[in-house]
Chains A and B, each alone.
Chain A
Amino acid sequence: DTEVTQTPKHLVMGMTNKKSLKCEQHMGHRAMYWYKQKAKKPPELMFVYSYEKLSINESVPSRFSPECPNSSLLNLHLHALQPEDSALYLCASSQAGGTGGIYEQFFGPGTRLTVL
């Protein structure tokens, strides 16, 4: 199984709502990532989890709260978002650590988020 799954595919939420994005992989990867991507722009890294611990937070506002309940799951909790947070949110996974060999991140299909 070389697939990263994300739910939901689409999400519309108001600025006062609380919602969560979910990501799952069963490739045994110990590094998982959240990216934000605006139209016609590259993916921007938000968070990295390595061995279920948060290792990188790219100065993301606190209205985005990541969680890694176990080695297969990654959540992104959303609260009090702004319209400018509307974007495609991508989850990815990879082998953790090491510098030898091929370094490949596997991306999920993304959640398209609209904040009204």
Chain B
Amino acid sequence: GQSLEQPSEVTAVEGAIVQINCTYQTSGFYGLSWYQQHDGGAPTFLSYNALDGLEETGRFSSFLSRSDSYGYLLLQELQMKDSASYFCAVRKAAGNKLTFGGGTRVLVKP
């Protein structure tokens, strides 16, 4: 089987930095993805890490350590529009399949 763990909720103020951790247990790991989903909306892709290290895309960065089965999403200079749910998802070796973590609800306050 496989499992992904991430915190259920994080609250922060505008301009702050938030780190969402994701630990996973799975066989045949290919990569770790992050998706953002606003209430009533569809998941949208943020990042994908297949190799160890940090990937930076604007205010968002994602990190992966394959040896620790751990990754995180870093949200910098938080804005009100960043209030959403953030899901980590594991891509496995067998086929095109993503398994999502339970999601972290981020609430940004003024």
Contacts and interface: CB of A to CB of B under 8 A. Distances in A.
State yes or no: do A and B come from one complex: yes
Interface string A77-103: 000000000000010001011010011
B48 A107 contact: no
Interface stretch (A14-22, A40-48, A59-67, A68-76): A40-48
A45 B44 CA distance: 16
A97 B96 contact: yes
Contacts of B87: 42-43
Contacts of A94: 96
B98 interface: yes
Nearest to B44: A107
Interface residues of A, number: 26
B42 A45 contact: no
A105 B95 contact: no
Contacts of B91: 103
Given A42-B87, A99-B50, A107 B42 contact: yes
A99 B51 CA distance: 11
Contact of A48 (B42, B97, B101): B97
A50 B95 contact: yes
A105 B42 contact: no
Contacts of A107: 42-44
A42 B100 contact: yes
A104 B103 CA distance: 18
Interface of A: 31, 33, 40-45, 48, 50, 55-56, 90, 94, 96-97, 99, 102-110
